[in-house]
Amino acid sequence: MKKLESLLQWGGTKRDIVFLIISGISLLISIFHPFPLPFDAAWIAIILCGIPIILEAIIGLVTEFDIKADVLVSIALIASVIIREDFAAGEVAFIMQLGALLEDLTVAKARAGIEKLVHLTPRTARRIVGKSEEIVPAEQVQVGDLLRVLPGETVPVDGVICSGQTSINQAVMTGESLPVDKGVGDEVSSGTVNQFGSFDMTASKVGEDSSIQRMIRLVQSADAGKAKIVGIADRWATWIVIIALTAAILTWLVSGEIIRAVTILVVFCPCALVLATPTAIMAAIGNATRHGFLVREGDALERLASVSYITFDKTGTLTYGIPKVVAVHSCRPDYTEERVYSCTASAEMRSEHPLGKAVVRCYRETYQAPLQEAEQFQLLLGRGVSAVLAGRNVLAGNLELMEEQKISVPKSVRDAANSYLNDGCTIIFLAVGQDLCGFLALSDTLRKDAAAVINGVKKTGVTPVLLTGDHENAAAHIASQLHIQEFHANCRPEDKLAFIDRHQASSKQVCMIGDGINDAPALKKSFVGIAMGGIGSDIAVDAADIALVNDEIRELPHLLSLSKRMMVTIKCNLTFSMTLNFIAIVLAITGILNPVVGALVHNAGSVLVILNSAVLLTWKKR
């Protein structure tokens, strides 16, 4: 059904373009008369462009008593036709439909990624009854049911692990790329993915109470309160109509010349006023596209110009979202840092864990040397790996693994590891036999241009804020590196929404930039949402107003400056068009302008508005 609606909408746009081309040609024929016709060719423009305007005005007045700019246009059209100024009528109709088309092309229909979120909802669950398993629809799971989740499966409902150990990919809820180790007593959320071990869990929240269903409701509700900016011509339409009609009637009564009254109606037509906003928006969108931004909502740049805060997700936005070895520490003289690195990478070579893969990848990038072949490899869920290298037992894993295997970790080594943990790093200890040899520190790495971007954002007068699902230490470390004064850690989707709600309730508009599924509600709720289009999830992109196609955030300050410059251009366009209309009205009242010349004068103003807007296409802040 939606595909059919999209095709009909596109079909309507193509029809409008064809009608405008035909109308433009007919007006040229009406001016230059290249060949004789039994009627004025301007009537083609009147019929193709004017009749839809008149019908829309009548429908709006009758059904909702809604006075918009098209009411005044309709009055001017009808009056021009009555006094046989056909060219003026056709010209006004053509310009107004051109403005409407430009507006339709810039204002996209609202889109939501709710359907894709629904697809993430698990369809079935593996319920344990007695000593047997049965596959049941997820919606039939009751609180207290015992469920089993195998490697690679999605957790069907919220619950608590009662047996087994595993690592869970929680990106759908927190946005963090690294899996989280889980064991008995730990909570798991629906929609998250079990990566390695199987486990049994007791269902605690099911159906509409589950995490994934709450996420869907957040996205659905977040869009409801986002106001759409109304065109300036329509906002002022009631007063424009009243003033124009009053001026026309008084002029007719005083002068006794109806042509002066019609001229007033023609020059009062808000053509330049209608074109002032969409032409500037289209030019700014073209500029943004050249800098890697896909503007998905026509008024997004207009809203962006008024934001007070821009909130960043951390992983994949300010960082690359890929763990990297940032330090190697040796605690034995016979094990150099390179040897600690090599042994750890060799032990992890057959691991499927993202941290293990990161160690191997980073070692090869650094040394480009072959690794030892590991024997008797074993993945120790939630703790690390074990392997045999050159006949010696090797362990690579967390502190819990070392303590479990009775491997002593001196206080000096713990203190060194804690210094990295405080910076948000993950630590992998290496033990050969029963001796600790050292450790590796892994961390998500900042984008090389992140600091410049934050500095550029501050220069535009917008305050940057860090909202991340990562823990406090990692958030504080990133914020200090980038000189971000305000940050919030351990943020779930509800927390990000609460921050946005709190500030927007006090008229401090918020722009959100993120990449994950967990960012979708915040992207939808924020005054402007910007999604990382390359690495970001489809759901995040669908929820956003603007997508960053190449994931290069360095152009973000340009986008903020461009939006503010666009608003300056729009205000200049509006001021110019209103001034020109006022002068033309005075000339029409005095009888200096007739309808045709009046139409030419105020349409010349429309051309100047378009030219002024076109400057935005190549604008760049110096």
Tokens, residue 121: 């909802």
Rounded alpha-carbon distances, angstroms, from residue 592 to 91, 150, 243, 259, 551: 20, 85, 20, 11, 57
DSSP 31-100: HH-SS--SS-THHHHIIIIIHHHHHHHHHHHHHH----HHHHHHHHHHHHHHTT-HHHHHHHHHHHHHHH
319, two tokens: 């960082």
- In residues, how long is the chain? 622
The answer to whether the beta carbons of residues 196 and 166 sit under 8 Å apart is: yes
* Rg of the chain over all Cα atoms, to the nearest angstrom: 33
Output the CA torsion 576→578→581→585 (10° steps): -140
| Residue type at position 376 | Q
User: What tokens does 103 get?
Assistant: 């507006």
Q: Are 312 and 318 in contact (CB under 8 A)?
A: yes
Tokens describing residue 446: 């900042």
N-to-C CA span, the chain: 48
Distance in angstroms (rounded) separating the CA atoms of residues 398 and 191? 27
Residue type, 461: G
The C-alpha atoms of residue 567 and residue 570 are separated, in whole angstroms, by: 5
Sheet hosting strand 319-330, strand order edge to edge: 319-330, 435-446, 426-432, 392-397, 384-389, 375-380
Q: Which of 188, 501, 453, 438 is nearest to 318 (CA)?
A: 453
Q: How far apart are CA 159 and CA 204, in angstroms?
A: 5
Distances (CA, A) of 517 to 173, 174, 293, 483: 7, 8, 20, 27
User: Which structure tokens are listed for 51?
Assistant: 């009749």
Tokens of residue 359, six digits = 């160690």
Q: Which residue, among 295, 267, 274, 270, has the nearest Cα to 283 in the 3D structure?
A: 295
Helix 556-589 to helix 258-267 angle (10° resolution) is 170
Catalytic option among 313, 470, 519, 551: 313
- Specify whether the CB–CB gap between 233 and 53 falls below 8 A: no
On whether the CB atoms of residues 538 and 532 are closer than 8 A, the answer is no
Residue 44 neighbours by CB under 8 Å, 6+ apart: 22, 23, 26, 90
Specify whether 70 is catalytic: no
Supply the residues annotated as catalytic.
Answer: 313
